[in-house]
Structure 1
Amino acid sequence: MKRAIRKVAVIGAGSMGSGIAAQFANGGVPVVLLDVAGPEDDRTAPARAGLERQLKAQGFMDPSAAELVSVGSIEDDLDAVADADWIVEAVVEDPVVKRRLFARLDALRKPGAVVSSNTSTIPLAQLTEGASEAFRRDFVITHFFNPPRHMRLMELVAGPDTAPETAALVRDAAETVLGKTVVDCRDTPAFIANRLGCHWMSVAAIEALRHGLTVEQADAMAGAPFGVPRTAIFGLLDLVGIDLVPLVWGSLLGALPAADAHHHHDLTAEPLIRRLIAEGRIGRKAKGGFYRLAPGSKAREALDLATGEYRPQVDATANRDLAALIRQEDAAGRYAWAVLSNSIAYTAAVAGEIADDVAAIDTAMRLGYGWAEGPFALADRVGCAAIADRLAAEGREVPPLLAAAAVEGGFHRRADAGRETRTTTGAWTPVRRPPGVLDLAEMKERGPRFAGNGSASVWDLGDGVACLEFHTKMNAIDQRILATVAEAAERVPAEFRALVLYNDNPRAFSAGANLGYFVERLEAEDFAALERFVEQGQAAFRALKHAAIPVVGAPAGLAVGGGCEVLLHCDAIQAHAETYIGLVELKVGIIPGWRGTAELLLRWGRRSDRPAGPKGTSQAAFGTIAGARITGSALEARTLGYLRPEDGITMGRDRLLGDAKAKALALAEGYRPPCVGSVTLPGPAGREALQAIVRGWRLDGRASPHDELVADWLAGVCCGGSEAGPQTPVDEDTLAALEREALSALIREPATRARIRHMLDTGKPLRN
């Protein structure tokens, strides 16, 4: 029988330990969080401080999740681990301290309980030195990345004595409960991500000094062209903390043999690094590092690498085509080549030491350091042969793994049976997904799309399930997406049993309607075109809701405005835990007009926890929409009515598509499309009550004149119009007509035009 994790104990309530505890609670698992004892009058104070730290830092997806965490002290409450299925150690990085704790835990834990250490600096063999055979069988290293809620990577290290079922239990729980992508690592210094990431940062920083670049130039060259986050190199050092260089980099260099190439770029020995640490200029936590805000102002300054003094920050750009950039005969090109060649050569040289295959290494760098693609995929993009040939021409060693990839066309390839990747010995091996994990990109490679255009596509997921994918910038909804939605609602039922709405965008399921089109038509005063756009959206979403097959929405990331409205029309939602959803139209001077107001009213009308009385449904929907708030997680979305109690939440992004497909197949059995929905609303009396609330907001300064106007129109829709009343249910089509009436009036308001333009230009709402 499959074992489950029903209770967890976390020892150590620092930022990492408390974050791990919070993530277990986010996954619905009770946790006991222990730390050193506080003063006699409050022995649990250190552990409780860790809990409060996570509440403040939003480590909990919803504050209610914190109720699953109990606190205590190691000295008084260690026996609380006795019934835990998994005990996570996250105390100080001292092997002696850890081994002493492990001895105590071994005497208290129940048979088979997993013990793991969150470390990246101490070898597993050293941690288990002197431990019992039973302890070694149940022990692994689980290296989480900070913050544990948001960083998807977990590196797993099993020892030679670790039982296979122990590693399997941890891997399964980490993926399904914590939402992690687990990468198996070998027991080597810093494992995969930090071994390679620290080397890359050292190379990039030191080569910038050697090539005479500014910090802005280096970050531009080593950032976007490499697919690296905007912090790039010097911004990342500021974020991590320059004071950690002697500790983290020093520890790694001390553990690596003298022949390891990391010693050729020793960041701890750089005079500038030592000077910044000595002067307390250690990054963001000290309000100054390689970048800072000028004292007394918000002007950004950058460090002059030659003088060590600050000057105004200057914008820098780089050729985003990395293959072209490294061929440039200038300082930028030579620097980019130095970073690329050293990083790829080092990764290829140590790959066999740290992992079984190159896919694990690429995954670790993508998820641990936020790279768009891992180092081997990056080499494939630039050209393995080009890299190897240039290394050889410069008289530098070409690692065998890179040489083999240069001859055979890369590190990754598509084969007849699916994707293949190289093992670290150079052989090809199929890419294997854990059970329940689907990859849309792989599904798309298997055959032509069923339908679509330049903005959206319909793909075959197998087993009679289709996938509707948006693929505009931030998946903003335009006319072509709406056309594909309508086409899918009509054509997919003839060929498939169910439909899933999903895309691989790492940031947004959909950021809503295309505001650029709104501005264009508003400035041309082409109100008729916008009214047609609203009607097209309403028709498409209505067709989706009443299609002959079940539709499951599978959002992750932003799902706002129209992106939220399309989800409200799905039979069910399987949301990634990190879904940020909301009807935010009031921020741009309109109300939800693609039947989103109507659908939210229908949902609140069916909820038992809506406010009491005949106006309860209207008040609940009005409050949610008028607040224009984006939820902080899928858990929070349930409290606002965007998700129903029966809608699912998937913790792991890798598993979202598979879970949504499974839900769609379950709904397909005996499916019947929904009837036209209706809801009882209070009519004019309710509208007057809501308008009184809005006038109060205006008097209190919480609403602007245009806020009041938009809210008045919203109140009319939420109360069902002039014909509604306690005995007269209003159907969804009538509510949709009220939405169109409100939109038609609001798009003609100059204040609406100003709001939409301001949002498009600045990304921020205008209060006018």
Structure 2
Amino acid sequence: MTKKIRQAAVIGSGIMGGGIAALLASSGVKVLLLDIVPFDLTDDEKKDPTQRNRIVKAGLDAVVKSRPALLMSPGDAARIEIGNLEDDFDKLATCDWICEVVVENLKIKQQLFARIETIRKPDAIITTNTSGIPLKEISRELGPEFKAHFMGTHFFNPVRYMHLLELIPGEETRKEIFDFMAKFGEKQLGKGIVWAKDTPNFVGNRIGIQNMGSAMNAMVEAGLTIPEVDALFGPAMGRPKTAVFKTSDLVGLDTLSHVFQNAHDMCTDDEQRETFKLPDFLKKMVENNLLGNKTRAGFYKTEKTKEGKRVRKVINPVTLEYEAITTPDFPCLTAAKKARTLEDKIAAILKGDDKGAIFAWKMAANSFLYAACRIPEISDTIIEIDNAMKWGYNFTKGPFEIWDAYGVAAAVERMKADGISIPAHVQAMVDGGNETFYKLENGVHLYYDFASNTYKEVPNSRAKISLAAAKGSGKTVLGNDSASLVDIGDDVFCLEFHTKMNAINGKIVDILDDVLEYVDKNGAGLVIGNQAGGTPGAFSAGADLYFVSNLAKEKKFTELDDFLNRVQTAIQNARYAHFPVVAAPYGMTLGGGCEVCFGADKIVAHAELYLGLVEIGVGLLPAGGGCMNIWKRFVTLLPDSAAKQTDLTKLFVDAFMNVGSAKVSTSAAHARSNGFLVPGDRIVFNRDNLIGEAKKDVLKMVDEGYAPEIMNPLLVMGSAGQEMVNAKISKMVQGGYMSEYDAFLAKRIAFVMSGGEVNNKSQVMEKALLKLEREAFLDFVREEKTLARIDHMLKTGKPLRN
């Protein structure tokens, strides 16, 4: 029989336990969330179930109220049942998976698992989310059947958003158990799986904490400031803006100190054990309760001046006084800002000769060697280490990939010149003429395997398709510097955008007709999808505002109208093509990106989908068919007979509000609830598999005998819809929810969406609706307030409410 997780239990309702419960519930699994009975209950309270569940109820409440949201949809909370470890313990007997997330205390864990062993059903999987206690110690006194079903499942916080899931088999875990958990974690929970060994802090935290410890311990001696270190090890090196010290504030300095101490205590044979020692300034900060974001003061804090202005300050690690932040000014940082590619940015930082570059090189070299020396101690291959840092710490590149970017042999020679000893297996690799840790051959990604001294294929899920690998093997059939059409096999092609934030510009529009013509002649179907960008990334952040702004300021309205007409035509041609088109959006899918998706036959969306028609925020309206297609998604779900008989004004208002108030979904589930995704669309939890899953849908549609939709007139609401919306707009202005200019824009948007000057429930051709969109767009860009909104967005990245 095929194993399934229908009912799971999470024991421990703190931040991590609550996050795991939320992820499981969002993925469709029923969850039993348990915690202890409070110790401080009075005799009367001990009889009260509400009081007995006070701790677990607080944990669930924190999940529901969390921002950013831990649940994909508020309704997912209904799948979580709460209880306590005294009254509800026996309910664990019905669970397919029991995940322990209690305090990091060996004795408490051993006692808990001993109780679970007595009631677990025979095939139940039992896991611990410990990050510091060896699994063999936790399960030492348990029986062979328990150990056969016992392993580690180490999630990273926040659980919903961090891609990494480390799986740690115990010494006696059955292979079919950890194979199942890998498949379940990847497909249903959407995680990137890293196989770790039962060593302290596993993979991600062992490497990550050592890197942070090295930087912290070396910083003061090198004479660098905290902002300088964060600038060097932020986006310029392909790392998050939180870099080293802001990440520490986010995690909590008390938690960080615990992980440091745990590593120092348990990694007794580690050649760099001293880097796990807490710097004196960090010890004193913890003693002074300067713990980071949780205490609103850590390495950084925000203060208010007498005038009420918020000012960010940073702690001086020598004096422990907060000081004004001085913007780092190293030549290597200036060069990195000018560099176009990440590889060039890394080279600018690590190959510079200023004080900052020298420090960055020293830390990078330390990171390279530390990672290399952990194989095979913590993992068997370089892949686990690189993936752990990318998926658990949001690095764009792992240490071996950064080493490749620098040049493996060049880095080795520089380290030798610095008097650093090179590990034998790295030297053997270089001596063998192997120039990189990773390479692409004939469309296959390979990695260097230290155990066999050969290159092996990077293992991938069968559902995963790599556009980079396809392009590397010559599968690009059309393209320019903004978009490419890639052959992804089985006569299916993928249209990929590769502009900044995948914004839609003139070159993308130029290639769309050629793409559709090529697929029509040579293929079975088309996927529209991208793979560039980190977490959450951007399928497309919308139209290229610089392009629109420049045409508007130069009063080239005819050119702008032509551009809009070409966008609309391309999207319409895709919608009515003689082959299936499936859009595969993820992350930010805004404005024009959203409109491209609406033009597809089907959307296969990643669970983390921030989808919306947000043009009103820059004084515009969706003019790529967005106004028409959002209403179409609402009204065409109704049978023709129902549409003719039903009062559709309420439906129209709901559709309008998505555009008029620039609603953006907080997840794919939310996009489904507000009408952006329709019943035929599909949600995929693992972004790595998104293109592959979209391709499956294309082939399924072909196999089922695909026929394009017939272009029929669209039922519109006319003046009745406008009147209803205008009344709502007036109330929103009165309530301060809209400015007068918002109202001006919104009323015109309602006019367009309702079909213009027509009666209620008129039938209007799509061509006429698209013309209304273009006319309104061109009128809007003639307005000074719209140009001000566009300029403000381009300068600040934030909307202007004027």
**TM-score (norm. length: structure 2):** 0.93
- Give 2:744's aligned residue: 709
- Give 1:421's aligned residue: 447
Per-residue displacement from partner, 1:482-508 (whole Å, max 9, x unpaired)?
Answer: 122222122211111010011013310
Matches within 5 A, 1:582-661: 582-608=612-638, 613-661=647-695
Aligned-pair CA distance for 1:739 = 1.3
| Paired AA for residue 652 in structure 1 | N
Matches within 5 A, 1:285-296: 285-296=294-305
Q: Sequence identity of aligned pairs in percent?
A: 36
- Give 1:470's aligned residue: 497
| Paired AA for residue 300 in structure 2 | Y
Matches within 5 A, 1:240-259: 240-257=251-268, 259=269
- Which of the residues 732, 736, 751 maps onto 1:697? 732
Equivalent pair of 1:583/1:625 in contact (CA under 8 Å)? yes
CA distance in structure 2 between the partners assigned to 1:749 and 1:623 by the alignment: 23
Query: Per the alignment, in what secondary structure is the counterpart of residue 141 of structure 1?
Result: strand
Equivalent pair of 2:719/2:754 in contact (CA under 8 Å)? yes
> After the TM superposition, which of the residue ranges 86-95 and 691-700 deviates more from structure 2?
691-700
In structure 1, list runs of 5 or more residues that go unmatched.
none
CA distance in structure 2 between the partners assigned to 1:370 and 1:446 by the alignment: 28
Q: Does 1:493 align with 2:520?
A: yes
Query: Per the alignment, in what secondary structure is the counterpart of residue 99 of structure 2?
Result: strand
Query: Per the alignment, in what secondary structure is the counterpart of residue 580 of structure 1?
Result: strand
Matches within 5 A, 1:199-598: 199-257=210-268, 259-268=269-278, 270-296=279-305, 297-317=309-329, 318=333, 319-320=335-336, 321-407=345-431, 408-416=434-442, 418-425=444-451, 426-506=453-533, 507-598=537-628
Equivalent pair of 2:504/2:544 in contact (CA under 8 Å)? yes
Aligned-pair CA distance for 1:332 = 1.6
CA distance in structure 2 between the partners assigned to 1:753 and 1:326 by the alignment: 41
Query: Which contiguous aligned blocks of 4+ residues in structure 1 show a shift greater than 6 angstroms?
Result: none
Equivalent pair of 1:509/1:563 in contact (CA under 8 Å)? yes
Equivalent pair of 2:443/2:469 in contact (CA under 8 Å)? no
Aligned-pair CA distance for 1:527 = 2.0
Please provide the CA RMSD for this pair. Answer: 1.7
Equivalent pair of 2:24/2:30 in contact (CA under 8 Å)? yes
Query: Per the alignment, in what secondary structure is the counterpart of residue 260 of structure 1?
Result: coil
- Which of the residues 766, 769, 775 maps onto 1:741? 775
- Which of the residues 95, 98, 111 maps onto 2:109? 98
> After the TM superposition, which of the residue ranges 36-45 and 100-109 deviates more from structure 2?
36-45
Aligned-pair CA distance for 1:416 = 3.8
CA distance in structure 1 between the partners assigned to 2:218 and 2:742 by the alignment: 53
CA distance in structure 2 between the partners assigned to 1:176 and 1:554 by the alignment: 16
CA distance in structure 1 between the partners assigned to 2:475 and 2:686 by the alignment: 28
Aligned-pair CA distance for 1:324 = 4.6
Aligned-pair CA distance for 1:117 = 0.3
Per-residue displacement from partner, 1:558-593 (whole Å, max 9, x unpaired)?
Answer: 001011011001100100000110011111112211
Aligned-pair CA distance for 1:417 = 6.6
Equivalent pair of 1:451/1:459 in contact (CA under 8 Å)? yes
| Paired AA for residue 283 in structure 1 | G
- Give 1:190's aligned residue: 201
CA distance in structure 2 between the partners assigned to 1:420 and 1:287 by the alignment: 45
- Give 2:340's aligned residue: none
Aligned-pair CA distance for 1:444 = 1.6
- Which of the residues 176, 179, 193 maps onto 1:168? 179
Aligned-pair CA distance for 1:623 = 1.9
Cα gap change, 1:126/1:608 in structure 2, threshold over 3 Å: closer, same or farther? farther
| Paired AA for residue 263 in structure 1 | R
| Paired AA for residue 415 in structure 2 | L
Query: Per the alignment, in what secondary structure is the counterpart of residue 352 of structure 1?
Result: coil
Aligned-pair CA distance for 1:158 = 0.5
| Paired AA for residue 756 in structure 1 | I
Aligned-pair CA distance for 1:601 = 1.3
Q: Does 1:128 align with 2:139?
A: yes
Aligned-pair CA distance for 1:223 = 2.5
CA distance in structure 1 between the partners assigned to 2:685 and 2:509 by the alignment: 29
CA distance in structure 2 between the partners assigned to 1:327 and 1:457 by the alignment: 33
In structure 2, list runs of 5 or more residues that go unmatched.
337-344
CA distance in structure 2 between the partners assigned to 1:706 and 1:417 by the alignment: 53
CA distance in structure 2 between the partners assigned to 1:585 and 1:391 by the alignment: 52
CA distance in structure 1 between the partners assigned to 2:745 and 2:323 by the alignment: 46
Per-residue displacement from partner, 1:715-746 (whole Å, max 9, x unpaired)?
Answer: 112222223433x3223222112212222222
| Paired AA for residue 186 in structure 1 | K
CA distance in structure 2 between the partners assigned to 1:733 and 1:83 by the alignment: 58
Query: Per the alignment, in what secondary structure is the counterpart of residue 543 of structure 2?
Result: coil
CA distance in structure 2 between the partners assigned to 1:79 and 1:163 by the alignment: 25
| Paired AA for residue 353 in structure 1 | E
Aligned-pair CA distance for 1:702 = 1.9
Equivalent pair of 1:721/1:738 in contact (CA under 8 Å)? yes
> After the TM superposition, which of the residue ranges 428-437 and 114-123 deviates more from structure 2?
428-437
| Paired AA for residue 396 in structure 2 | A
Aligned-pair CA distance for 1:325 = 3.6
Equivalent pair of 1:405/1:411 in contact (CA under 8 Å)? no
CA distance in structure 2 between the partners assigned to 1:265 and 1:650 by the alignment: 40
Per-residue displacement from partner, 1:455-510 (whole Å, max 9, x unpaired)?
Answer: 11100000111000011000111111112222212221111101001101331000
Per-residue displacement from partner, 1:530-557 (whole Å, max 9, x unpaired)?
Answer: 2222111111111111111100000110
- Give 1:760's aligned residue: 794
Per-residue displacement from partner, 1:676-734 (whole Å, max 9, x unpaired)?
Answer: 143322322332222122122222222211111111111112222223433x3223222
Per-residue displacement from partner, 1:24-45 (whole Å, max 9, x unpaired)?
Answer: 1111111111111245321222
Equivalent pair of 1:492/1:499 in contact (CA under 8 Å)? yes
| Paired AA for residue 152 in structure 1 | H
CA distance in structure 1 between the partners assigned to 2:627 and 2:651 by the alignment: 12
Query: Per the alignment, in what secondary structure is the counterpart of residue 188 of structure 1?
Result: coil
Aligned-pair CA distance for 1:169 = 1.3
Query: Per the alignment, in what secondary structure is the counterpart of residue 37 of structure 1?
Result: coil
Equivalent pair of 1:597/1:621 in contact (CA under 8 Å)? no
Aligned-pair CA distance for 1:264 = 2.9
| Paired AA for residue 697 in structure 1 | M
Cα gap change, 1:128/1:701 in structure 2, threshold over 3 Å: closer, same or farther? same
